[in-house]
Structure 1
Amino acid sequence: MDFYRTMGYVALGSYMRRLGEISQQASAQIYQMYGMDFEVKWFPVFLAIAENEFETVSKIAEYIGQSHVGVSLMVKEMSKSGFVETQKGITDKRETLVKLTPKGQQMQLRMNELLEDLQDTMTEVKNECETDVLRALMEYEQVILRKGLPERIKARLKTRERNKVKIIHLDPTNDAHRAAFKRINYEWIEKYFKVEPLDMESLENPDTFYINKGGLVLLAEYQGNIVGTSALKPMTADSMELSKMGVDSNAKGLGIGELLGQAIIEEGKRLGLKRLYLETNSRLLPALNLYQKLGFKTVKDFSSPYSRADVAMELWL
C-alpha cells in the first residue's frame, strides 16, 4: 500500500487493477454465499439481458461499454451453462437476439436478492468514504476518454526527445558534417526531383558556396548523429536565401524541421537581416506547411535557377 501512496497518480492503473482483483475475489465469494454457480465476468451482460428481453449482442455491447466480440463470447458461455438462449434477428439475420432461459430466470430471482443486499452494503461503504468514489471514477473515465493517456504521453515524449536535438554550425573541416549535409539533401532531392548542377555545387562545397560568402549552414544533431540541415546564402546586403532544408527520413516526427527553421530565423536576426527568401515546390506539402507556420508568405513573381522551383516565399524580419 505504501508503494501506491508514494507513486500517487503515476501508479493509478496498477492500483485500479489491484482493486479490480480484490473486487473480483470478493464477488466470487459473495456468489458462493448465495449458492450461485455464476461467473463474475458475466454480471453486466446477464443484467443487460435480464433488463431488456430479446436484446441483440450489439445493443448489449453498446449498453455496457464492452466490445461486441467480448459480449458474444460471454453469451456463448452463458448459453452453454443454460442461462440464456439465442436466435437470429427477425428482420436482420446477421443480428443475434438473446434472452434468459427458465434457468436464467431463476438465477435472476436470486440475483435480485443479492443486488438488494449489495445495494445496502455499498451504501454503507460509500458512507464510510470521504469522497464519492464512483463519481470520481466516472469523472476520471470521461477525462481519459476525451484524451487518452497514450496521446498525452506521446506529446510529452516528443517534447522530451525534441529537447535532445542540438542545432550546430557546419564545420567545413569536419568530414562527418560534410557527408551528412550531402546525404540528407541528396536523399530528398533524388526522391522527388532530379539533382541539378547548382545542387551539386552547393552540396559538394558548402564552405565556398555558403560560408565563405558570409552565409552559414546549420545542422541538427540528435543522439550523436546529424539528422537535419539548412543553409543561408547571401542575396543582398540585408537579405539571404534559405535553402537545403532537409531532415533525415529516420528522424521524422521530432519537429526537427521547425527547430532548424526557428534557428535560421534567429541567425538572420542576429546578422541584422531584413528579409529571408526561399524557393520550393508545391508537391512538398509538409515543407510548405512548415514555412507558413514559421511566418513565410508567398511571392507571386519570381525567377529561379532551379527547374523544380514553382513556389517562392519570403519572411520580413
Structure 2
Amino acid sequence: MNFYNNVGKMGLGSRLRRLGELLSEQASLVYGLYDVALQPKWFPVFYALSGGEEKSITQIAEEIGHSHPSVSTIVKEMLKNNVVTESSNKGDGRKNYVKLSDKGRSINERIQPQYQDVNAAIERAMAETQYNIWKAVEEWEFLLNQQSLFKRVESEKKRRESKDVQIVPYADEYQAVFKKLNEEWITTYFTMEETDYKSLDHPREYILDRGGHIFIALYKGQAVGTCALIKMQDSTFELAKMAVSVAAKGKGIGWLLGNAAIQKAKELGATKLYLESNTILKPAIALYHKLGFKKIIGVPSPYDRCNIQMELTL
C-alpha cells in the first residue's frame, strides 16, 4: 500500500483495477463454494440472459454497459463451455442471437442461493465501512460521464500552462511575429489578400494610429499569439488578427487574448465588438461563442474568406 500512499490520487485507476482484480479472485472462490461453473467476468452477460429470452450481442452490450468486442469475446468463451447457445436471426442473417443453454439454465437455478448469500455478505461488509463504495462508484460514473477524466486533465493542463502566459501591448519589435503568426494560419486555410498585407506589414499605421490596439501573448517570454482591436465607426471595435502558434495550442492563449481585448474595449468606452471569420475554423468559432459573440448579418466584408460575422454587446 506504500505505493498508493506515495503516488496519491494519480493512482486511482490502478488502485480501482487492483480492487477489481482482488474481488474477481475472491469471486472465483465463491463460485467454487457453490459448485457453479461460471467465471466472474461472464457474470454480467449471464445475468442479462438469465430471464430466458435470447438477445443479440449489441443488446447485451447496451444493457450491461460493455463494449461490443468485449461481450463478443465473453460469449465465445461461454459458447465453448456450453453455457449459451447461438442462432442466426431469421429476419437478418448477419445478426446472431444467444440465450442460455440447458446447462446455463441449470446453473441459473443453482446460483440463486449464491446470489442471496453474496448480497448479504456485501451488505454486512458495507455496514463495517465508513464510506458507501456503491454510492461512490455511482457518483464517479456520473461525474466521468458528464466530463471525462481526459477533459478534466486537459483543463488542468491548460490552467497550469496559462499561468506562464503574459499578454502585453504591441511594440515595433513584434511586427515580424505579428505578421508571421497571422500569415501562418491564413495560408493554411486560405489565401493572403490585399487587406491582410496592409494591416500586417504596417500595423502601426493601419491599426494603432487609427485608434486601435494590438496584443501580444508571451509564453515563457516567447511571442506565441496575437490579436487586434481595430477602430470602426462610433463606439464599435473589430476583434481581428487573432492567431496562436500551433506549438502553443491548448494553453488557453486564445481565451486570454480575447478577454484582454474585451477588457480594453470596455476601457475605451466601446459598446460593441465585431468580428469576421469562417465556419471551417471550428475551434475559433467555438472560442468566439465562449467569449459571448453571437452570429449577425453585417455589412459586406472586404475579405473573400469571410462567411460568418459575429458581434458582442458590451
TM value normalised by structure 2? 0.76
Give 1:181's match in structure 2, choosing from 160, 165, 178: 178
CA distance in 1, matches of 2:51, 2:183: 67
Q: 1:1-317 maps to which residues of 2 (within 5 A)?
A: 1=1, 11-172=11-172, 174=173, 177-190=174-187, 191-196=189-194, 199-207=196-204, 209-210=206-207, 216-232=213-229, 243-268=240-265, 272=268, 280=276, 293=291, 306=302, 308=304
Give the unaligned 5+ runs of structure 1: none
Task: Answer whether contact 2:295 2:308 (CA < 8 A) is retained.
Answer: no
Deviation track 1:68-97 (CA, whole Å, cap 9, x = no partner) reads 221121111111112221111233333322
Greater Rg by CA:
1
SS at 2:243 equivalent: strand
Aligned CA distance change for structure 1 residues 146 and 236 (closer, same or farther; 3 Å): closer
Question: Helix, strand or coil for the counterpart of 1:221?
Answer: strand
Aligned length: 310
Deviates more, 1:83-92 or 1:5-14: 5-14
The separation in 2 between residues aligned to 1:59 and 1:312, in whole angstroms, is 46
The 1:307–1:40 alpha-carbon spacing in structure 2 relative to 1, beyond 3 Å, is: closer
How far did residue 151 of structure 1 move? 2.9
**Structure 1 residue 232, shift from structure 2 partner:** 4.8
Could you tell me how far 1:49 is from its partner in structure 2?
Answer: 1.9
5+ long unaligned stretches in structure 2: none
More off after superposition, 50-59 vs 177-186: 50-59
Using the alignment, how far apart are the partners of 2:192 and 2:311 within structure 1?
24
RMSD: 4.0
- Relative to structure 1, is the Cα distance of residues 273 and 144 closer, same or farther in structure 2, using a 3 angstrom cutoff? closer
- CA shift, 1:164, in A, is 2.9
Distance 1:97 1:310 in 2: 51
Point out the more displaced range, 65-74 or 4-13.
Answer: 4-13
What amino acid maps onto 1:94 in structure 2?
R
The two structures have a TM-score, normalised by structure 1, of 0.75
Q: 1:285 to 1:32 in 2, by over 3 A?
A: closer
Counterpart Cα distance in 1 of 2:224 and 2:185: 13
Deviations 1:259-316, CA, capped at 9 Å, x for gaps:
323323444555x5557776746668766776674669979668x8x56589888878
Distance in 1, Cα, partners of 2:123 & 2:217: 60
Identity %: 35
